């Protein structure tokens, strides 16, 4: 649901620097990934422009979909609904 600080750094660096990922997907520079659903989709906060919203990145189609107006609402929703696709 939310990664540790150590876990946050590596994926964010990889998504910004690996050429194979950069050629497959839209840029990730505006997102800070902080968690995943266990099925490959990742959750992110927009950092450029800085906003409180939470988005999910779908690893299968490279979509970025709004899921919550804040980190608090994201946590409340994720904790109250079972399953990896609670946000759909």
Tokens 């050429």 correspond to what residue? 19
pTM of the predicted protein model: 0.90
CB atoms within 10 A of CB 51: 14
pLDDT given at position 83: 77
d(CA 27, CA 79): 29
pLDDT 10s digit of each residue in the chain, 88 long?
A: 899 998 999 999 999 999 999 899 999 999 999 999 999 999 999 999 999 999 999 999 999 999 999 999 999 999 998 777 888 7
d(CA 79, CA 86): 9
Q: Return the domain boundaries, the chain.
A: 5-79
Give which of 57, 47, 72, 1 is closest to 26, Cα–Cα.
57
């Amino acid at each position: 649901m939310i990664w540790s600080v150590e876990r946050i750094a590596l994926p964010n660096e990889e998504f910004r620097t690996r050429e194979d990922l950069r050629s497959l997907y839209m840029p990730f520079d505006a997102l800070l990934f902080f968690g995943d659903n266990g099925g490959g989709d990742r959750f992110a906060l927009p950092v450029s422009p800085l906003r409180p919203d939470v988005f999910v990145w779908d690893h299968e189609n490279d979509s970025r979909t709004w899921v919550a107006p804040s980190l608090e609402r994201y946590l409340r929703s994720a904790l109250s609904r079972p399953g990896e696709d609670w946000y759909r």
